[in-house]
Structure 1
């Protein structure tokens, strides 16, 4: 199998050394003043900037000069359109888009501070299971909001998850970044690519993505979310190889090594990593309900951002799990194929 050309992007909030530069202004009436570079990816440089009209700091992603083409501009603006469709606390807020005097596209978005999930995994290795689920749940919820908005992310990975915090104070707010290769669920692509182009990051690709299928849906994001959760708990992704050919072979033919964790949680992850999309959770909301139900059964009412799991947007009001007098929190939202958490996690009554 030939090595394909991948289309992905690294986290726009990856740390890079600041460099001195003259202040440049962008936007109508020179509204935005670039202050310093704070990150870079394959498509663009991200700057800390000042919105001089609103008197707030923002982040601005500007297309790289060497990518000054109509196609690259189309792709950058498609990223903004995809992200703007998703209204959720776990996504980055898009404020505006525009074109510079040099005809380079840019996106104005909220400024975030904090490490990426990749940095946390690199520093700490395996995370405790409860911490991992509480941390990932807001991202699963944000992905579910994207699916409801008709958007498939296609590049969920630790690099694209930022653990934002206000100057080191308050709860962590996980944020899903980089909709640069997103597509509409039931419609045309947000930007044109050659048929069969592999979109995403190989390590976190579902089988259908790795094979270059064009008609992927939200279940490829379900795979990626479960691959990320697997890595958080185990310290390494479920499939690794030294070449793309070997990696695709592993994704298509091998089962992930079972994790030595609670059986009910492993069943949730294992279902998300099913080879056939039809066998996975139907979308991120279904996955989120399973994870939230497991977390409730373990006795935890809030995710890492302090949002109430019981009243999460993943639960319609009529399906919120209720406590019973026996002291067990019954998990009705888990699919019948998943072993009951009641058999594994005692909750004090």
Structure 2
């Protein structure tokens, strides 16, 4: 792995280490040619010769390049440095939604719904391109604070386990393999991972909406394994029983996202339009803040360490207008 001052790929001068995950590290760097700030994600050399980790790492960069949208972190370059594969992408300033949901300073509900509108807009474009993310969760939603406008911008990150809806997926060919985050996967993802389509992303969005508005998951279980069993065999907790004070429109969206596959909300376009309607309705319930997140042991997100500003400053930034 590089050291401070090293130049990665002959172009990106390393400034600081931002964080680390199971397969690699993320570094703050400067483009030596343009002076622009970038982030460089490097795959640990130990995984470089392993087909599956390398495929996942390069897939993330490929998807980000294939879909041009301001809600996806822009990829500038892909290459190798001292035997390690790297991806250079735009430097983000802020925190993951996972961090924000667990912060003492509570995010306004109106801002949270506006962030979900932005997520739905990104899903509209990725689904049109035939790409299913398959790992939507708060840790993969980065809330970037724009320096120029002081507004919050949501960035969808980590397409490492995404798939083309029409492609045979090499990441799922091994017996017993499972990719995704257990608390957020759809029932069909658990039972038949190869059959996953865009509707699984809508399920995961429903889980995120439920989590943000209630502080917990729609399927309560003490560990990930039992969470998967609950998702397959039990109905989700009814949002109406937990948060009857929420606007009817928002509760209906959560219900429809968490329905069985064939009766689930129809598309990311419908999700976006209905969330926009919730914001435009100016329901008084949107003026409250999100409830405290229920404590959870062993939670750790690599993106949570990429926080140049405090969560307090994020929650004080202006929300989107729609």
For normalisation by structure 2, the TM-score amounts to 0.81
Q: Which residue, 207, 223, 237 being the options, matches 1:256?
A: 237
What secondary structure does 2:262 align onto?
helix
Q: CA deviation at 1:48?
A: 0.6
Q: CA deviation at 1:66?
A: 2.5
Q: CA deviation at 1:172?
A: 0.8
CA contact (8 A) 1:182 1:190 kept: no
CA contact (8 A) 1:183 1:190 kept: no
| Map of 1:44 onto structure 2 | 24
* 1:169-205 Cα shifts (integer Å, max 9, x gaps): 6101111111111111122337564155221100111
Q: Which residue, 89, 92, 114 being the options, matches 1:109?
A: 89
Q: Which residue, 168, 172, 185 being the options, matches 1:205?
A: 185
Q: CA deviation at 1:22?
A: 4.0
| Map of 1:270 onto structure 2 | 255
Q: CA deviation at 1:251?
A: 1.1
* 1:230-286 Cα shifts (integer Å, max 9, x gaps): 111111121231233421232121232323212222111101001x21211222222
* 1:5-59 Cα shifts (integer Å, max 9, x gaps): xxxxxxxxxxxxxx994422222xx111122111222222011111111211101
| Map of 2:47 onto structure 1 | 67
State which structure, 1 or 2, has the greater radius of gyration over its C-alpha atoms.
1
Q: 1:241 and 2:189 equivalent?
A: no
Q: Structure 1 pair 262/157, CA: closer, same or farther in 2 (3 Å)? A: same
The two structures, once aligned, show a CA RMSD in angstroms of 2.5
| Map of 2:12 onto structure 1 | 32
CA contact (8 A) 1:203 1:240 kept: no
Distance, in Å, in 2 between the alignment partners of 1:185 and 1:269 is 24
Distance, in Å, in 1 between the alignment partners of 2:15 and 2:43 is 16
* 1:290-325 Cα shifts (integer Å, max 9, x gaps): 11122222279xxx876552xxxxxxxxxxxxxxxx
| Map of 1:296 onto structure 2 | 280
What secondary structure does 2:41 align onto?
strand
Distance, in Å, in 2 between the alignment partners of 1:124 and 1:287 is 29
- Larger helix share, 1 or 2: 2
Distance, in Å, in 2 between the alignment partners of 1:121 and 1:42 is 23
List alignment gaps of at least 5 residues for structure 1: 1-18, 310-349
What secondary structure does 1:170 align onto?
coil
List alignment gaps of at least 5 residues for structure 2: 285-316
| Map of 2:308 onto structure 1 | none
Distance, in Å, in 2 between the alignment partners of 1:79 and 1:286 is 26
What secondary structure does 2:155 align onto?
strand
